[in-house]
Amino acid sequence: MLQHPGHIARVQGISVGHHTDSRRPTGCSVVLCPQGAVGGVDVRGAAPGTRETDLLAPSNLVQQVHGITLAGGSAWGLDAASGTVRWLEAQGAGLDIGVGRIPLVPAAVLFDVMLGDMTIRPDAAAGYAACQAATRERPAEGSVGAGAGAVVGKIFGFARAMKGGIGTASFTVDGVTVGALVACNALGDVYHPTTGELLAGARTADGAALLCARDALLRGDSPQTILAGSNTTIGVVATDAQITKPQAQRLATVAHDGLARAINPVHTMSDGDTLFALGTGQSGRTLGLMTLFTLAAEAVAVATARAILLAGAVEVPGQARLPCWSDGLRPAR
């Protein structure tokens, strides 16, 4: 287990909340910054599901956003962001337009509708509930919120996959904190970012061991035909350093290095991998960009691994049981 990695809510100006649907494995998570934060985004996967990402371009007008929503439910889950907007408006947060305020809440979704009744997915009420639950305490991790229905290692078929989840981590240097929240629903396998140990992913045909998809592909094994967009790792990296909007964009870009350390393969044609960046500036301090970017990539890598280490197995009536890391599967010899 990765010990004492901190969490994203240690970033000043950030709170985090989850809503997990009890009817099937799905949910949403929110990262709130009601006082505003400069934002950036980098979409690396070829099959993304997103909302309000264009406003984050460094050359565009809006300079600050007020929250990020991560959700299951595929494209339907984007509706959860409407609930986040409504909750923030009730708190008086948002862009001042004279006659009121418009909370700006970019969002990204992952595909989890293969588990149970696909007509049950996060909506505006779920987004609102996640905001109501938001605190600055350590967020729950594993099979909760946007990670409730996450599944990893589907290259050789859904029935040979394993349970994914959501995880968080943070690091602090010279009074500046960088944290990440990552919901991992990757097509690929997930590795320990420090030891290189294979944690979860595609299993052997009998389901009893980890296959190691990379090795299988290198020796010429054929992957199963994969539904486009049925995978995705989404997340937020946040800092309380004082940064500019272009720097936030670069922070999101470099943070994907953390995904590449923990997931293989990553950024595929069937993944919609998307990372948002937030800079609250509330530490009142700056930090060299080399250090800042290093912390961001490390926080993302650790958060991704924790999403797997803390996930729980899932059993859906009429479907194969999907095991988790704690079931103790090891790579096949």
Which pLDDT score is estimated for 155?
A: 92
Which pLDDT score is estimated for 325?
A: 97
Q: pLDDT per residue over 109-127, tens digit each?
A: 999 999 999 999 999 999 9
Which pLDDT score is estimated for 207?
A: 92
Residues 257 and 237 sit within 8 Å (Cβ to Cβ): no
Which pLDDT score is estimated for 4?
A: 65
Residues 241 and 279 sit within 8 Å (Cβ to Cβ): yes
Residue positions counted in the chain: 333
264 pLDDT band, cuts 50/70/90, is very high
pLDDT at 316 over 80: no
Is 8-321 in CATH node 3.40.50.300? no
Q: pLDDT per residue over 8-18, tens digit each?
A: 999 999 999 99
Give percent of the chain with pLDDT exceeding 70: 98
Domain residue ranges in the chain: 8-321
Average pLDDT of the segment spanning 229-240: 92
Which pLDDT score is estimated for 1?
A: 60
Average pLDDT of the segment spanning 324-329: 95
Which pLDDT score is estimated for 3?
A: 64
Q: pLDDT per residue over 43-96, tens digit each?
A: 998 889 999 999 999 999 999 999 999 999 999 999 999 999 999 999 999 999
Mean pLDDT across the chain: 94
Q: pLDDT per residue over 128-169, tens digit each?
A: 999 999 999 999 999 999 999 999 999 999 889 999 999 999
pLDDT at 2 over 80: no
Average pLDDT of the segment spanning 255-272: 94
pLDDT at 236 over 90: yes
Which pLDDT score is estimated for 5?
A: 83
266 pLDDT band, cuts 50/70/90, is very high
Q: Is the pTM value of this prediction over 0.85?
A: yes
pLDDT at 229 over 80: no
